[in-house]
């Protein structure tokens, strides 16, 4: 992520993530699972996602968060 200090608190990291333009507009954000686990922890991250009423999926080492309360449908 751009414009962040080398060390950042988990709270500030999540605030920065969820204030991104895409998130604020109800779109999606994605981050590497390893980065989330290193910076904030998987459980804590997913708790925040749920608390906000968002949905997250994990695929190929990435979390994709749908920053809205709409249902998510998987099509194959």
**What pLDDT score does 7 carry?**
83
The band of 3, judged by pLDDT with boundaries at 50, 70 and 90, is: low
pLDDT in tens, 9-48: 999 999 999 999 999 999 999 999 999 999 999 999 999 9
CA atoms of 12 and 10, how far apart (whole Å): 6
Stated pTM of the model: 0.87
Question: Residue 62 in contact with residue 31, Cβ under 8 Å?
Answer: yes
Sequence-ordered alpha helix ranges (H) in the chain: 10-18, 21-24, 33-39, 42-51
- The pairing of strands 55-59 and 62-66 is antiparallel
Query: Which residue is it, tokens 């993530």?
Result: 17
Helices H, strands E: what count in the chain?
A: 4, 3
Domain boundaries, given as residue ranges, for the chain: 10-66
pLDDT at 72 over 90: yes
């Amino acid at each position: 992520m751009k414009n962040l200090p080398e060390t950042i608190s988990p709270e500030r990291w999540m605030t920065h993530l969820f204030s991104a333009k895409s998130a604020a507009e109800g779109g999606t954000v994605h981050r590497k699972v390893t980065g989330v686990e290193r910076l904030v922890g998987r459980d804590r991250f997913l708790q925040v996602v749920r608390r906000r009423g968002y949905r997250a999926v994990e695929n190929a080492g990435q979390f994709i968060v749908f920053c809205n309360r709409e249902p998510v449908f998987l099509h194959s």
